[in-house]
Structure 1
Amino acid sequence: MFVKLVKTFILSIVFCATAQAQVQDTIVVARDGSGKYRNIQEAVESVRAFMDYTVTIYIKKGVYKEKVVIPSWIKNVNIVGEDAEKTVITYDDHANINKMGTFRTYTVKVEGNNITFKNLTIENNAERLGQAVALHTEGDKLIFINCRFLGNQDTIYTGTEGTRLLFSNCYIEGTTDFIFGPSTSLFDYCTICSKSDSYVTAASTPQNIKYGYVFKNCKLTAIVGVTKAYLGRPWRPYAATVFMNCELGKHILPIGWHNWKNPGNERTARYSEYMNTGEGASSKERASWSKQLTKKEAAEYSIENIFRTGDCWLPNK
């Protein structure tokens, strides 16, 4: 049933507001030379700007060590791996290499809109020497299905306010603030793995945007030895994050949330939970400034409401 729902959702996005059949081309990338291109970036650069039809970049199994940028003039592209665990895009930049800073460390940067990633691993395998982003997003209407995001600090940066992202059936790991940024992002049926005693999220949701990070039906796990993790801390004052119907492991601290050593954030941060389970789900000792949603309030977190901004990026009802 879940797979059918995901397929329906994707189709509704791709074909929204059009009654015409769309042309779809396929470009094959393979390290062994059996495809048209050996590098992913070469395939991306071959795509025509501002297409009104869909192109699929199919990536065969292999390890692709490259920094990939999907530029802003690229849209309507599906980037599909042959195998989620064996199709790997990797790089090893971190913030303290030649004073690079966090935002240049990405392995994959997505500036374009209407891009779907499926069956891939995106990894930053830098040593723990500073922030090291695996995925950096700036585009709108981005979908990630059955993907793996591997890294340490700052694994996923959702970097532009007002943009909308869907992560479905993904695996995401990291140490500190490993899901961070201002975008509106729905994580559905994802596994979120903490690799150190630290913070899972660091949202920077703008004050005027209702939905920030929404985790539904996710499983929060940890590697051996990790026992003290927070659900989140506010990178900016109005950070919005909610965990709903998630399984929270025993590594999640009873207080749940951290104020980033600024009591003023407690008046503005929008942190909430609903019907979570697991050893880390008890609300008895939760931060007093976080919230347990009512059934009525939880119902507002429908996919239609989360992604509604005036256009048609919504699944069919």
Structure 2
Amino acid sequence: MTLQCKSPILFFIALLLSSQALFAKVVAYDFVVAQDGSGNFKTVQEAINAVPDFRKRITTIYIKKGVYKEKLVLPGSKQLVKLIGEDVQQTILTYDDFAQKKNQFGEEKGTSGSSSFYIYGDGFTAENITFENSSGPVGQAVAVWVAGDKSAFKNCRFLGFQDTLYTYGKGSRQYYKDCYIEGTVDFIFGSSTALFDECEIFAKKGGYLTAASTPDTTRFGYVFLKCKIKGDAPDNSFYLGRPWRPYAKTVFIKCNLGKIIKPEGWDHWGKESNKQTAFYAEYKSKGPGAAPSKRVSWSHQLRDEEAKTYTIDNIFRGWQPFK
């Protein structure tokens, strides 16, 4: 930057302002992760470990482009951590464990043990990052396991096959804005209250988009708002969901449903009692997969007044993500 100024005073002021702007850029993030050594750390886990336990302010971690093959854990003591990727397509956090893979004792890891990233800390946020389980079509293989309350993701990708995104935290609140989530069987599953806001849900092969296990005491389970449901699976090969546990709740509001969706829409997982306890509903679905008259009789089409209750404030009990 070249500064040209005839007045020494004005020159000094301009120099001071430019220095402040440069300094602001330098201190915009608490930590920078870069594989080439240009940041504070070369691995994401090192940066997470450096966050002070129970810090009451947001700690920002900027992750430069790269494929970071790490099995990550954000402990419960690491609160208000914010990960920001340089580029959602090129900032990739990945690992390749799966349920049947053996640990050092010769025991299967199981679904919960397969995750690439475990998020326990409350107040976690992520932007512009790809979260991946790269093990392929080998059964259950979780990309992200989210237990912490008030977790929010913006412009992130979740890549995998079966059981891609595990919204684990019972009653925890999770928000997904402008995200891309792909998978096959039950690839969005768990017991959390989760809002998917204008996300793209990409279905591969055939199966079930969701497998909620909403507690009976929780008012809202999964809510898909203005999402696009598409994929490369055959026509009529996907259900909107099935109840992993009784009282599962999943609602699609003003979503565009691709031709991959079965006309009946929902499955009761072979248990008749689930038809009485699960709450599966839609409101103003559109697209070739929208077929309200052909849905199973025990599902619901919301009335206008019912749909109005599905606000961020109601769903999250007063929490406003990214504010």
Partner of 1:257: 266
Structure 2 partner of 1:40: 44
Distance 1:124 1:226, change over 3 A: farther
> Using the alignment, how far apart are the partners of 1:296 and 1:157 within structure 2?
31
Q: Which residue identity does 1:314 align to in structure 2?
A: Q
Residue 6 of structure 1 corresponds to: none
CA-CA distance at 1:180 after TM superposition: 0.2
Cα distance in 1 between the residues matched to 2:194 and 2:281 = 15
Deviation string 1:1-58 (CA, Å, 9 cap, x unpaired) is xxxxxxxxxxxxxxxxxxxxxx975200011111110100000000001111111100
Paired residue type of 1:271: Y
Deviation at 1:171, TM superposition (A): 0.2
Identify the match of residue 248 of structure 2 among 195, 218, 239.
239
Q: Within 5 A, what are the aligned runs for 1:125-140?
A: 125-140=134-149
> For the residues of structure 2 that align with 1:94 and 1:226, how far apart are their CA atoms?
28
In the alignment, which residue of structure 2 is the partner of 1:141?
150
| Residue in structure 2 matching 1:277, options 286, 302, 310 | 286
* Match of residue 5 from structure 1: none
Amino acid at match of 1:63: V
Name the SS of the counterpart of 1:254 in structure 2.
Answer: coil
Q: Does 1:314 align with 2:323?
A: no
- Whose radius of gyration is greater, 1 or 2? 2
Residue aligning to 1:13: none
Alignment partner of 1:80 is 2:84: yes
Partners of 2:159 and 2:235 in 1: CA distance: 17
Counterpart secondary structure, 1:176: strand
8 Å CA contact 1:24, 1:54 repeated in 2: no
Aligned partner of 2:35 in structure 1 is 31
Give the distance between the partners of 2:197 and 2:313, measured in 1 at CA: 14
Deviations 1:234-268 (Å, cap 9, x if unpaired)? 00010000000000001100000000011111011
Distance of 2:311 and 2:136 partners within structure 1? 39
5+ long unaligned stretches in structure 2: 1-26, 103-107
Q: How far off its partner does 1:227 sit?
A: 3.8
Q: Is the 8 A contact 2:98 2:114 kept in 1?
A: yes
Select the residue among 51, 58, 61 that pairs with 1:54: 58
Once the two structures are superposed, the pairs formed by residues 143-162 of structure 1 within 5 Å of their partners are: 143-162=152-171
Deviation at 1:95, TM superposition (A): 0.3
Mapped to 2, the partners of 1:25 and 1:195 lie a distance apart of 37
CA distance in 2 between partners of 1:265 and 1:292 (Å) = 18
Deviations 1:195-253 (A, max 9, x none): 02110000000111010000001000011545410000000010000000000001100
Is residue 2:83 matched to residue 1:63? no
2:91 matches 1:94 = no
In the other structure, the counterpart of 1:289 is 298
CA 1:315–1:110: 2 relative to 1, 3 Å: closer
Q: Deviations over 1:146-165 (max 9, x none)?
A: 00000000000011211000
- The answer for the alignment partner of 1:200 in structure 2 is 209
Shift of 1:176: 0.3
Inter-partner Cα distance in structure 1 for 2:117 and 2:147:
11
Larger RCO of the pair (alpha carbons < 8 Å, separation 6+): 1
In 2, distance between residues paired with 1:51 and 1:91? 28
Deviation at 1:112? 0.1
- SS of the counterpart of 1:195? strand
1:88 maps to amino acid: I
Q: What SS does the aligned partner of 1:284 have?
A: helix
Describe the SS at the equivalent of 1:113: coil
Q: Does structure 2 retain, via aligned residues, the 8 Å contact 1:177–1:201?
A: yes
Aligned residues: 292
Q: Is the 8 A contact 1:196 1:226 kept in 2?
A: no
- For 2:308, the equivalent position in structure 1 comes to 299
What is the CA-CA distance between 1:314 and the residue it aligns to?
Answer: 3.0
| TM-score normalised by the chain length of structure 2 | 0.88
Report sequence identity in percent. 50
Corresponding residue for 1:15? none
Which amino acid in structure 2 is aligned with residue 67 of structure 1? K
Question: Structure 1 residues 315, 157: CA separation in 2 closer, same or farther (over 3 Å shift)?
Answer: closer
Distance change >3 Å, CA 269–CA 147, structure 1 → 2: same
Letter in 2 for 1:71: P
Q: 2:322 and 2:262 mapped to 1: Cα distance?
A: 39
Does the 8 Å contact 2:152/2:321 carry over to 1? no
Q: Does 1:175 align with 2:184?
A: yes
Which residue identity is paired with 2:258?
G
- 1:114-158 Cα offsets, whole Å, 9 max, x none, are 111000000001032220000101100000000000000000001
Deviation of 1:100 after TM superposition, in Å, equals 0.8
